[in-house]
């Protein structure tokens, strides 16, 4: 890496481990990976910097070769910036690990560059860690009121059964708070994974005996929401790009294979329905169609909070869940055909 790192922590380097040592005055190291993120990164950083500075936090942006002014925006806001060598892009997992190596906080905070946090976000998180929390913690988030129906149905977490603090099997990387020692005990992010690196790490943290917790928070906003169905399909296809690699890492257990198997099942059902219709077996096709829809029906019934969700929410959530399974199935086939198990 080269470029510019203007951290003010004055942390000392642990030469044996290749990372800065903790600084008693820094509670949080907020690490923001970026790649051509200028559309939203200014709002993201401003929201983090609006938190109470007395808590003790530093902000580190790890850029991946942006050409849209992302680096300039980050530097202008006075945060630490790491620039990677041009033409040598890294996985987002590698970006996060680089930021962690230069962080001096007791707690690592991994935030996507299109997330806006409330001004009491760090204060709320600190209360958990001050009380002895050990593991990974993530706040739920929603989308702006101006978002379209796709983002509203897929990104409005308050209508799902996430309105209580609960232990979960894994978290995704929009925002993850992890104890420094827990992060390194688990081995950090797997830099070979193009996607699913956040799910993989938090699953390893849970396997190591630490907690993985989801905390309700309406104030977190995801600005990089899916703008329409095409955007939804494109993003989901990319997100599923390392599903087999991630499953293989966890021993190809039923738990790790459950999602890939359900994705494959959806594609298999689609093929069977097409074959049944081709041979005029309409009654069989109808039964298969019902089976095809069943997983999405069950997910909708178990996840949607029908007591508070508007009447239109559940049908839209069901449709997008069904679409996601099939897109993920297509991504799975792509991995198998490529022969690279998602390590593209």
Which residue ranges form the domains of the chain, and what is each CATH number?
A: 13-227 (3.90.550.10), 231-338 (no CATH)
Of 118-127, 129-138, 245-254, 267-276, the one with minimum mean pLDDT is 245-254
Residue 167's pLDDT band, with cuts at 50, 70 and 90, is very high
> How confident is residue 110, by pLDDT bands cut at 50, 70 and 90?
very high
The residue with greater pLDDT, 19 or 67, is 67
Pick the more confident residue, 85 or 133.
133
Residue 291 has pLDDT above 60, yes or no: yes
Sorting pLDDT into bands at 50, 70 and 90, what band is 337?
Answer: confident
Quick one: pLDDT at residue 251?
Answer: 65
In angstroms, rounded to a whole number, what is the distance separating the alpha carbons of residues 279 and 288? Answer: 14
pLDDT at position 158, please? 81
CA nearest neighbour of 219 among 140, 136, 291? 140
Q: Closest by alpha carbon to 198, among 93, 64, 59, 328?
A: 93
pTM of the model: 0.86
**pLDDT, tens digit, 9 for 90 and up, residues 310-336:** 999 999 999 999 999 999 999 888 888
Which residues contact residue 41 at a Cβ distance below 8 angstroms, ignoring those fewer than 6 apart? 32, 34, 61, 70, 73, 74, 113, 114
Confidence of residue 241 (pLDDT cuts 50, 70, 90): confident
Q: Which two tokens stand for residue 215?
A: 């905390």
Contacts of 93 (CB under 8 A, 6+ apart): 189, 190, 191, 192, 193, 197
For CA atoms 257, 260, 262, 268, the dihedral sign is negative
For residue 234, give both structure tokens: 């494109």
pLDDT higher than threshold 80 for residue 339: no
Separation of alpha carbons 266 and 272, rounded Å = 10
Rounded mean pLDDT of 290-319?
A: 97
- Please report, rounded to a whole number, the percentage of residues in the chain having pLDDT higher than 70: 88
End-to-end alpha carbon distance in the chain = 22
| Average pLDDT, rounded, for the chain | 89
Instruction: At 126, list the tokens.
Output: 């600190």
Query: Torsions phi, psi of 287, nearest 5?
Result: -65, -45
Query: Averaged over 132-138, what is the pLDDT?
Result: 98
Of residues 144 and 24, more confidence is placed in 144
pLDDT, residue 21, reads 73
In the numeric block, the tokens 């993201």 are attached to 44
Tokens 């806001």 correspond to 77
CB atoms within 10 A of CB 36: 15
The per-residue pLDDT for 3 is 35
> Higher model confidence: residue 41 or residue 257?
41
Tell me what the mean pLDDT of segment 196-206 comes to.
93
**What percentage of the chain exceeds 90 in pLDDT?**
73
């Amino acid at each position: 890496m080269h470029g510019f790192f203007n951290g003010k922590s004055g942390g000392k380097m642990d030469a044996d481990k290749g990372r800065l040592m903790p600084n008693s005055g820094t509670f949080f190291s907020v690490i923001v990976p970026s790649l051509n993120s200028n559309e939203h990164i200014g709002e993201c950083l401003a929201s983090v910097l609006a938190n109470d500075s007395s808590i003790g936090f530093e902000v580190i942006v790890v850029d991946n070769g942006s050409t849209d002014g992302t680096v300039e925006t980050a530097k202008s806001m006075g945060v630490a910036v790491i620039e990677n060598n041009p033409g040598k892009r890294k996985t987002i997992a590698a970006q996060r690990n680089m930021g962690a190596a230069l962080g001096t906080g007791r707690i690592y905070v991994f935030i996507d560059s299109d997330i806006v946090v409330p001004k009491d976000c760090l204060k709320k998180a600190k209360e958990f860690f001050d009380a002895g929390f050990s593991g990974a913690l993530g706040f739920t988030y929603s989308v702006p009121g101006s978002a379209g129906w796709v983002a509203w149905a897929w990104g409005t977490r308050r209508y799902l059964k996430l309105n209580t603090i609960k232990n979960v099997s894994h978290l995704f990387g929009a925002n993850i708070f992890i104890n420094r020692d827990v992060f390194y005990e688990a081995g950090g992010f797997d830099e070979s994974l193009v996607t699913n690196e956040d799910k993989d790490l938090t699953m390893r943290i849970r396997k190591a005996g630490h907690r993985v917790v989801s905390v309700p928070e309406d104030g977190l906003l995801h600005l990089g929401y899916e703008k329409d169905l095409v955007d939804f399909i494109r993003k989901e296809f990319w997100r599923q790009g390392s599903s087999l690699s991630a499953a293989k890492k966890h021993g190809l257990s039923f738990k790790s294979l459950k999602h890939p198997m359900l994705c494959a099942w959806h594609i298999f059902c689609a093929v069977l329905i097409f074959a049944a219709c081709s041979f005029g077996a309409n009654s069989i096709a109808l039964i298969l169609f019902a089976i095809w829809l069943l997983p999405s029906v069950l997910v909708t019934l178990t996840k949607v909070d029908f007591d508070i969700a508007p009447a239109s929410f559940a049908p839209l959530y069901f449709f997008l869940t069904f679409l996601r399974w099939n897109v993920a199935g297509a991504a799975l086939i792509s991995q198998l055909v490529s022969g690279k198990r998602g390590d593209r």
